[in-house]
Amino acid sequence: MEYGLIGEHLPHSFSPEIHKKIGDYKYEIKELRPEELEDFLKNRDFKGINVTIPYKQAVIPFLDEIDEAAKEIGAVNTIVNRDGKLFGYNTDFGGLKALFERNKISVSGKKAIILGNGGTSKTAEAVLKSLGAQTVLKTDLVPAEGVITNEEAVLKHSDADILVNTTPCGMFPKLSGMAADPADFPKLSGAIDIVYNPLRTDFVQRAQSLGIPSAGGLYMLVMQAILAAERFFDEPVPKEKAEKIYQELLRMKKNIVLIGMPACGKTTVGKLLSEELGLLLFDSDELIIEKSGRQISDIFEKEGENAFRKLESEAIFELSGKTGAIISTGGGAILNPENIRNLSKNGKIYFIDRPLENLVPTSDRPTASTSEAIQKRFEERYPLYCRFADKIIDANCTAEEVCKKIKEDFQNENFGD
């Protein structure tokens, strides 16, 4: 390959899409087993590559020259082949620094804790020090020289101002979990997660729920790619291009999530949106039927609502890992707040707010088979729909008009601000 990304496991990397937007060159992904790395680098059959987990340190012995900044950090994520000589750089530094700056998270004079002790933690340490952090600590599951445990961080350093997660905790496909809980650090004024898939990890969501300025790693990924391209071609890329690519990528990766009462039109609107936007449509109820081999009414009748809700949460967790899709949920999906947290990791949630008098009961809906049942569900759930929605869509109109409202909102939103 001429340009690309090497790493051990790269099934869902966003890098090719980013580099396609940067310039007219082919950018490929190459997964390498540890025993294959040496031959690949010795063959030097490439012009420029990015390096990711777990090879940012392992590549260093094979390089002819290393940029001073990369040498100081002790990690390389960009290699350029110039006339058979390999030059190593660290563009993660500039990407992470730009992420702090874009989100206006001040570090100067503050105590910062880095979660993790791998190659990226070295970059984070260098960035924090360059931004004027007074104290920088690292944590890991096992203590080591210059590294404290996560438990020690909470017990002795709960006064930390900044948290930076450099671990893969919460990264796709394992969407759950945090290396540390921001709630354990009451003085936090900023939280950064280098994970970019999902767009909002549990770590970022928790920080945001506490009102702490926070961000995931997608903008860092975009900026480091732009800086890498500048190294590949020895040409500057206009800095405003980063924001444009970031917004385009967010729009490509964000899901449109539909919530609302039974019979509010989620399925019909979802199909219309799928056709107009060219996005795949997934329905949580249909996934339950597919996986269980039974109709929903049958599950309710034979096992009860609790059994169905468990299957529903499992289906929603699976669908939450999708990107760039439309997800239609069952009317009761909002009864479990964890469903909303999962759907919000990659999605914007739209409440299709159809008036009660326009909701028609049908026999195939176990909780909405009569007018009385629909009214009861409506009164119970309406506050939850409003609470969990990112956008409430007035659906006292045709399905086509609802589709148009959602489409316009989604396409015009300036994400991440």
pLDDT higher than threshold 80 for residue 364: no
Beta bridge partners of 391: 350
Burial of residue 186, with CB atoms counted within 10 A of its CB: 0-12 exposed, 13-18 middle, 19 or more buried: exposed
pLDDT at 415: 58
* Section 54-76 average pLDDT: 94
Banded model confidence at residue 24, pLDDT cuts 50, 70, 90: very high
- pLDDT tens column, 230-278: 999 999 998 889 999 999 999 999 999 999 999 999 999 999 999 999 9
pLDDT higher than threshold 70 for residue 69: yes
Per the listing, tokens 């899709």 go with: 325
pLDDT higher than threshold 50 for residue 417: no
pLDDT higher than threshold 50 for residue 320: yes
H/E element holding 122? helix 119-130
pLDDT at 163: 98
* Section 308-324 average pLDDT: 96
pLDDT at 416: 54
pTM, two decimal places: 0.91
Closest residue by Cα to residue 285 from 294, 277, 276: 294
Q: Assess whether 56 carries a catalytic annotation.
A: yes
- pLDDT tens column, 145-183: 889 999 999 999 999 999 999 999 999 989 999 999 999
pLDDT higher than threshold 70 for residue 74: yes
What percentage of the chain carries pLDDT values higher than 90?
A: 88
CA angle at 315 for the pair 313 and 316, rounded to the nearest 5°: 65
Domains of the chain: 3-90+221-250 (3.40.50.10860), 94-216 (3.40.50.720), 254-412 (3.40.50.300)
pLDDT at 338: 97
Out of 20, 21, 47, 56, the active site residue is 56
Residue type, 243: E
Beta bridge partners of 165: 115, 193
Residue 164, SS3? strand
